[in-house]
Structure 1
Amino acid sequence: MAVFRGDPCGITCLILTYTAIFYADYVIVHWVVLQTMLESLWGAFHALLFNTLVFLTVMAHVRAVFSDPGIVPLPQSRVDFSDMHAGGEKNDDWTVCARCEMYRPPRAHHCRICQRCIRRMDHHCPWINNCVGEWNQKYFLQFLMFVGLMSIYSLSLIAYSWIKDCPDCSKEMAVKQNRLLHSVILSMESILFGLFVIAIMCDQMQAILSDETAVEQ
C-alpha cells in the first residue's frame, strides 16, 4: 500500500533532498567529468557510474517515501475497552493505543505526525516524509548507503579534478571560477550529508544489532 504524508516539513525536506542529489549530478558531469576527462574513456566510465549511483539513490528514496512502514490497520468496528484501562495490556503483550482507539501488536508505537500506529517504529524521518518502521527500514538503509557512496565518490572526483586542471580553465577565467565555485559548494554538501548519513547509519545498525528501536531506547 503506497502512502504519502502532506506534512509541510516533510515535503520541504523532499524538495531539498532531490535538489541536493541532482545538483551533485550536474556538478560532477558538467563541471568535473566534462572539464577534466572529456577526451578519456574514464570520463564516460565515471559519468555512467555516478549516474548509476544517482539512479539507485532516487529509487531507494522513492521506495522509502511511498512504502508502507508497517501501519497497523484501524478496526472495522469500535473496540470495547471497558474491561481494561487505556494503555493496559492484552494477550501476548498487545497494548491499547488511546489515540487510535484500538489494540496494537507488540513493539508498535503511535506516530504523532502520521497519526497512526506503526509496527516496530524507529522514528519519523522528515527526509523521507515517512516513518521508518518494520516494512521500509531496508529501503531507508539503502538510501543512506547510496548517499554515503555518492558523497565519497563526489569528493574523490573533485579532488582529482583539482589535481588535474581542465584544459579550458587556463584560457577562460570564467570557466575556472565557475568550476571552482561549484566544486567548493558540492564538497561542502558532500561532507555535510556524508557525515550526517554515516551517523544515522551507525545508529540504525546499532538498533538492528541490539534489536531495539530508537523509540524503545
Structure 2
Amino acid sequence: MLAWSKSIGRCTVSFISVLLTQLALFLVPLFFSASPILIQLTLSALVLVVVLGFGGWCKRLLGFNASAPAFVFCSIFFIWGVHIAIVRQAISPVMDVLFNVEMIMLIIGLFRIMLKDPGFVVSESFSLGKLNDNSVLGVQTHNESSLLQMRARYCKSCQTYVQGFDHHCPAFGNCIGQKNYVLFMVLLVGFITAEISYIVCSSQFTSKFRVLEENRVESGSILVMARSTLLFCVLQVLWQGPFLIWHVYCICFNIRTEEWVNWKNYPAFQLNASSLSGENYQETSFKNPHNKGILQNVKEFLTLK
C-alpha cells in the first residue's frame, strides 16, 4: 500500500511538472509572437532549462520525488490532447489518423520497454551479490571473465549486471541492453516521427487559422497553445536527432555507449603502444575488439535476442 501511495505521489508531481512546463512555454509565443522562429526556439529552450532546473531544486528542497517515465507519459498525453482538441480542425483526415496511430504505438512501445527485461544477468553462478561496478577491473575471476565475454556491465541504478549494457534510460525507467536495444531504437525513431508529424500538423493549423487571432481573443489563445506545443516538439527533435545519430553510429561499429565512455576501465578496449622517445611509459589508445565491419555489425544488431 505504501509503495502504491509513493507511486501515485510521484506521478502526481510529474503531472504538475508537465503542466507548469507547458504553461511556461505558452508564455513565449504569447509575448513574442512577432519574433522569428529562431528567437522563439532560443527563448523556449531557456525557459525549459530554467523551469526544469528550478522545479528539480524545489522538489529536492521539499522532499518530493517525480517519476521520469510518468513525465514522458504526461507530456505525450498533453500533446495528444492539444492535437485532438485544437490542431485536428485544420488538417486532413489522413494526417489525423496517422498521428493518432503514431501516438498509440508510442504508448504501447513505452509500456513494453518499461516492462521488458533488458538482459539482466541473474544466474546464481555469477554470485552477483559479491560483485560491484569496479569488480571487472584488475585481476579477474572466472565469473568476472564470463561477464566480460557477455559484454555485461554494471548498472548503478538497477544495481545489477546487464548483458550488452548501453545505458540506463531514466525516461523509460529501465536499462537499455541486449534484449531491448532494438525496441529502444524503434521507439526513438517513433518519438522523432511522431514529433515531426505534430510539427507539420500544428504548422498547418497556425497557418490556416492565423487570421482568427485578429478577430477573437479565444482564437488567439488557441493559436498560442498550438504554437507553444510546436516549439516543444521542435526542441525535442533537436536533441533526439543527434541522440539517434549517435546510436546508429554505435550500431554500425558495434560499440555501446557505456563502453565508449568508460573504455579506459576495460583492458579489452585498450591498445598499448611503447613510447618512441625511449621513455619508460606506454601510450594507451582506444581499440574496438567487437567491430566486425558495418554490414556484419548491423546484422548482429538486428538479430539481438
Q: Which residue of 152, 155, 164 maps to 2:208?
A: 164
Q: In the alignment, is the contact (CA less than 8 A) between 2:210 and 2:223 conserved in 1?
A: no
Give the match's secondary structure for 2:224: helix
**Which amino acid is 1:155 matched to?**
I
Q: 1:90 to 1:77 in 2, by over 3 A?
A: closer
Q: How does 1:1-217 map to 2 (within 5 A)?
A: 12-34=67-89, 36-37=90-91, 42=92, 44-75=93-124, 87=136, 88-89=139-140, 95=144, 104-106=147-149, 107-165=151-209, 172-174=216-218, 176-217=219-260
Give the match's secondary structure for 2:259: coil
Q: What TM-score results when the alignment is normalised by the length of structure 2?
A: 0.56
Q: Report the Cα distance in structure 2 between the residues aligned to 1:200 and 1:77, rounded to whole angstroms.
A: 33
**Deviating 4+ runs (over 4 angstroms):** 8-11, 76-79, 166-171
| 1:124-178: CA deviation from partner (whole Å, max 9, x where unpaired) | 010111110010011111111111011111111111112212797665321x122
Q: Report the Cα distance in structure 2 between the residues aligned to 1:77 and 1:205, rounded to whole angstroms.
A: 32
**Which amino acid is 1:61 matched to?**
L
**Which amino acid is 2:97 matched to?**
L
Q: In the alignment, is the contact (CA less than 8 A) between 2:116 and 2:180 conserved in 1?
A: yes
**Which amino acid is 2:115 matched to?**
F
Worse-superposed segment, 146-155 or 9-18: 9-18
**Which amino acid is 1:25 matched to?**
W
- Could you tell me which residue of structure 2 aligns to residue 100 of structure 1? none
Q: In the alignment, is the contact (CA less than 8 A) between 2:113 and 2:180 conserved in 1?
A: yes
Give the match's secondary structure for 1:134: coil
Q: Report the Cα distance in structure 2 between the residues aligned to 1:129 and 1:204, rounded to whole angstroms.
A: 19
Structure 2: which 5+ residue stretches go unaligned? 1-6, 11-55, 57-64, 261-305
- Could you tell me which residue of structure 1 aligns to residue 275 of structure 2? none
* Greater fraction of residues in helix: 2
Q: 1:11 to 1:64 in 2, by over 3 A?
A: farther
Q: Which has the higher contact order (CA 8 A, sep 6+)?
A: 1
Q: In the alignment, is the contact (CA less than 8 A) between 1:70 and 1:133 conserved in 2?
A: yes
Number of residue equivalences: 191
- Post-superposition shift, 1:45? 2.3
Q: In the alignment, is the contact (CA less than 8 A) between 2:212 and 2:220 conserved in 1?
A: no
**Which amino acid is 2:256 matched to?**
T
**Which amino acid is 2:198 matched to?**
S
Question: Over aligned residues, Cα RMSD in angstroms?
Answer: 2.8
Structure 1: which 5+ residue stretches go unaligned? 1-5, 97-102
Worse-superposed segment, 52-61 or 176-185: 176-185
Q: What TM-score results when the alignment is normalised by the length of structure 1?
A: 0.77
Query: Sequence identity of aligned pairs in percent?
Result: 18
- Could you tell me which residue of structure 2 aligns to residue 3 of structure 1? none
